[in-house]
Every structure is written in C-alpha cells, then in structure tokens.
A and B are shown apart, each in its own frame.
Chain A
Amino acid sequence: MQKNKDKTGRGRYLPPDIDMGSQPMIEILGNRRVTLEGSTGILLYESENIKINTKRMVVSFSGRGLCVRNISCSCVEIEGFITGIEFLT
C-alpha cells in the first residue's frame, strides 16, 4: 500500500497496481455531500439526479434536493440528500 498525501495532508492508502491518473476520486460525507475530483463536465443537472462525466465513466447521483455547491474545471461538490450512486460505463 502506498501512502499519498493530498493538499490537506490527509493520508490515502491506494493500491499500487491501479492507475489513478484517469480514475475519478470520490469523497462522500455521509449521504449529504459528495466531492468528485476528475470531472470533465456535468451532463445532467436536476434536483433529483445529477450526472457527471469523467474520463472513464459517467457517475450518476440520485436523491432529493441535489445541487452543485461549488464547481471548478476538474472538481464538483454536490450537496443534498443522496440516495444512490451509479457508475455508468
């Protein structure tokens, strides 16, 4: 296991055989907040469903009262009552 450190200094244990360069990094805080790194754009934006495109797949978040809290060119932060996450390839 290799230990990488992000900007905040938190350690993340990642398997060495996985190429993280093209994989999205998803951080989930309970079922209320999701931070997705490696986004290439928002495909669908509704209060019940948000679909975010990444290099390898499309990640679909379903729930109630979903909204994008912050967005930058590669990172999206979603807030709301999340009931499901789907990975569409």
Chain B
Amino acid sequence: MLLRLIRFIRGYVDFTARGKFPERFMNITARYGISIWNAQPSENGLEASMYISDYRKIRLAARKSGVVTKIGSKHGLPFFAFKYKSRIGIPIGAALGAVLMLVLSNFIWSVSITGAETVSETRISRVLAQKGVGTGGWKNRLDVQKIERDTMLEIGEIGWMSVNLTGCIASVEIKEKAEKPKFDTATEPCNIKARCDGVITKINAKKGFVKVPSGSGVAKGDLLVAGITETKMNTIQYVRAEAEVFADVAYKKELSLSGEYDYSSISDEKTDRNRAFLLWLEFPCNLQFSSCGESVFSKSSQSVVCNSVVLPLGIRTETQHSLESVKAKPSKETAEKIFNNDLLLYEAFEKPDSRIVEKSVTVSKSKAGFSCMAEYVFNENIAESAEFSVTD
C-alpha cells in the first residue's frame, strides 16, 4: 500500500523495451541503480514499469543494449497535475483548502458537557472558557490535567471530571459530589418549644417527653417536648429532644396597588442586526441604525449543526427594542389578578413546606388605589430547639 502510494506520488510509466538484448538492458539499469518492477518477458523484448524520473535516465542504457523503449501508459500524480496545468485554480483552491483545514483543526470547534445534574452547564462552560476550553480555543496549548484540577477546585460541587479532546471537539465528562447527609452531632440536652402561636394537630416525637396533647392551643415559646424528666428512681434524665410538631397557624398578608402608575413597555419598533460568526470572528451582515431613546436588547444565535455537533459557524442576531412609557389605571379585575399572582408567589416561596388549611382574600378599593387582605391558616411544623445548660 505504502509502495503504491510512493509510486503514485512519484509517477511511473509502463514501457516496452524491444531489441536484441533486453537482458543487457536490465543489467545496465540495475547497475545504474534504476529500479524496474513488473518486468514481463515478451516477444523480442520485455514489458516493465519504472519511475518517470528514472525513465529519463535510461536513454544511454537503451542505446548500449540496442533496445528501443516505448511508453505504454502513464500513471501517478505528476501526470495528473500536468493534465490540469491550465486550470491553475483547482490546485490553488485545493492547497488553500488543505491549509485552511490544517489551521482550523488546531482550534476547538465545539464543547459538549455531560453528567452535570445540579451544577449549571453555563457555569461550567464559563469556567472552562476562562481556562481556554471554549469555542475557538487553541487546543495545542491546553494542559488538560491542570484545567481539570483547577476547574474542580473552582467548582466545589464537581467530584470528578475529564476533558477529552477528540479532533476539534472537547467533550467534558462530569461526576458530581454526593452530598454528605446532615447529622445532628450536638450532644447538649434541649427542649422543643413553639416557634409561633397555633393549634397542635400532630406530634411526631423521636426523643424527649411530649408535654402537650394533640388539639391543644399553644403560644409562642411554650414547651412542647421536654428534654428533662424524672425517672422512677427519682433521678433526673436529660435528653436532646427531637420532634416534629404540626400545628394550624394563622397568617395575614397585606398587599396594596396604586390606582395609577407608570411603567415601561416594549413597543413594536425594533431593529435587527445580524452578524455571521466563525469561531471568534464576527462579520456584520447588515448595518441598521435607529435613534431609539430608551431601549432594551435581546440576543439570539443560530449555529450550524452537523451530525449532532454544534459547529462554531452561524448567525448572531441582536435585536434592539425601543421602550415606551405607559400610564396604567388598573381595574378591580386587573388588581385581583395581580394580587392573586403575588399571593401565589408568597405561598410558593415563603411557605414552601406548609399546607394551606384555609384561605380568604378580600380586595377593597380606596382613594389611593387597591388593597388586599389575605388570611391564611397554614398547617406547618412549629417545633424549635431550645438548648439549656444542665446547671440551669
């Protein structure tokens, strides 16, 4: 295979040597160091192959041995190149393409991250990009092991990572650290007290001595589960009380909305600016100018995907939206919708572990605007540890 390739690159000819002494011709060419292959004896001569560079040297050998040589067929790159000599653009284009391929193959074209479950991929890719593992990074200078170490130190949630450079694609594999379970290692005795007022509905006591029955009302700071008790032997026993005490707790939430307010709204007037990008290079595709007073920008990009690999080639669009100031006078229905949305956010983010038992919402209108009074009854855990010293 290699020999065939060398012969193709150097170029060779199949020739016939006819005359009195073809054997002598072979001997002389061998003495000159000219290699002949596929030498087949034929009538009054021989057929063989040799390099085109050697064929130019055999004139003397042919004359000495009394043979006449004639080229049968020509093979190889020199003949191919000669055939397309007039079309100079083809070899130049091929050479430029080869150079472009060689240059571009030294850059990272795409980065894929796998295995990230809780850690944000954007955060990982930003940290990796700072260390050179990003689209358009020069891959030959990368010290992969150092990058892995530094990234793991910077993002503490990563337990193991591997950066693999396969061609122009950097594939990053990540295993996150398993979180240590939290153990209460404190040994000081403690009581469980009420965090707020409420009516007890359920008590799950793991350690300690329950002091209030289910259904009783408690005030903030009341003892619910005691960490101290007297044994049958008239001695005192101290424990670290652990319990979940669920109680119905009443909450009030007040919201207000102005009767008239200003806000900025995105108008229909917008300007798109497209830019083609290749690796880190960007070329403007159109020039759009606008005289917007106040405006906001949004950016989007569309990349070429080939064989499920995102290539660093595509179009980035920057859209400029102009803002207009709007005066709003909300109606009662609109105000109710706004209050409802705010209350949903309150329930979701401020009371995520609580169960709603009762809920009543009252919306009233005044001169200043609208006000909302929401009354809740949440069923939630009101247990709160209160440590004490044995000497107390």
**Distance (Å) between the CB of A67 and the closest chain B CB?**
5
B36 located at the interface, meaning its Cβ lies under 8 Å from any Cβ of chain A in the complex: yes
Query: Which residues from chain B contact A73 at a C-beta distance below 8 Å?
Result: 30-31, 33
Residues of A within 8 A of B39 (CB): 45, 67-69, 71
- B23:A42 contact, CB within 8 angstroms: yes
Within 8 A of B (CB), among A17-48: 41-47
CB-CB < 8 A to A42: which residues of B? 23, 26-27
Is A89 interfacial (CB-CB < 8 Å)?
Answer: no
Q: Does A72 contact B (CB under 8 A)?
A: yes
Within 8 Å by CB of B46, from A45, A69, A70, A72, lies A45
The residue in chain A whose Cβ has the minimal distance to the Cβ of B37 is A70
B46: chain A residues within 8 A (beta carbon): 45
Instruction: Answer whether residue B234 sits at the interface, using C-beta atoms and an 8 A cutoff.
Output: no
B26 touches A47 (CB 8 A): no
Asked whether, in the complex, the Cβ of A71 is within 8 Å of the Cβ of B36, the reply is yes
Which chain A positions have C-beta within 8 A of B29? 71
CA–CA, A43 to B27, complex, Å? 9
- Give 1 or 0 for each of B25-43: 1 = CB within 8 Å of chain A CB: 0110111010111111100
Residues from chain A with a CB closer than 8 A to the CB of B40 are 47, 67
Q: Are A45 and B30 in contact (CB under 8 A)?
A: no
| Least Cβ–Cβ distance between B19 and chain A, in angstroms | 12
Per-position binary interface string of chain A over residues 48-86, scored 1 when its CB falls under 8 Å from any chain B CB and 0 otherwise: 000000000000000000111111110000000000000
Q: Quick one: which of A45, A47, A66, A70 contacts B23, CB cutoff 8 A?
A: A45
* CB–CB B41/A67 < 8 A: yes
Chain A contact residues: helix, strand, loop or mixed: strand
Cα separation A47 to B31 with both chains bound (whole Å): 23
- In the bound assembly, the distance between CA atoms of A72 and B39 in angstroms comes to 13
By a CB distance below 8 angstroms, the chain B residues around A41 are 23-24, 27
The smallest beta-carbon distance between B256 and chain A, in angstroms, is: 97
Which single residue of chain B is at the shortest CB-CB distance from A71?
B30
CA distance A84 to B22 in the complex (A): 23
For residue B65, give the distance in angstroms from its CB to the closest CB of chain A. Answer: 11
Q: How far is the CA of A73 from the CA of B61 in the complex (A)?
A: 14
Name the contact of B22 in the complex, choosing from A45, A71, A72 (C-beta under 8 A): A45
> A72 CA to B29 CA in the complex, in Å?
8
Shortest distance between the CB of A82 and any CB in chain B (Å): 15
Least Cβ–Cβ distance between B11 and chain A, in angstroms: 19
Nearest B residue to A68, CB-CB: B39
A51 closest partner in B (C-beta): B23
A82, B37: Cα distance in complex, Å: 19
A72 contact set on B, CB distance < 8 A: 30, 33, 35
Closest to A67 in B: B40
For A46, list chain B residues within 8 Å (CB): 41
Determine the distance from Cα of A42 to Cα of B23 in the docked complex, in whole angstroms. 6
With a CB–CB cut-off of 8 A, which chain A residues contact B36? 68, 70-71
Contact between chains at B37 and A69 (CB < 8 Å): yes
How distant is the Cα of A44 from the Cα of B22 in the complex, in angstroms? Answer: 9
Check B26–A45 contact: CB distance below 8 A: yes
If A47-B41, A67-B38, A71-B35 are given as contacts, then 11 extra A-B residue pairs at C-beta distance below 8 Å, sorted by A number, are A41-B23, A42-B27, A44-B23, A45-B46, A67-B39, A67-B41, A68-B36, A70-B37, A71-B29, A71-B39, A73-B30
Q: Which residues of B contact A (CB under 8 A)?
A: 22-24, 26-27, 29-31, 33, 35-41, 46
Interface residues of A, Cβ cutoff 8 Å to B: 41-47, 66-73
> What are the 4 tightest A-B residue pairs by CB atom distance, in nearest-first order?
A41-B27, A42-B23, A68-B39, A45-B23
16 contacts between A and B (CB under 8 A): A41-B27, A44-B23, A45-B23, A45-B41, A47-B40, A47-B41, A67-B38, A67-B40, A68-B26, A68-B39, A69-B39, A71-B26, A71-B30, A71-B35, A73-B30, A73-B33
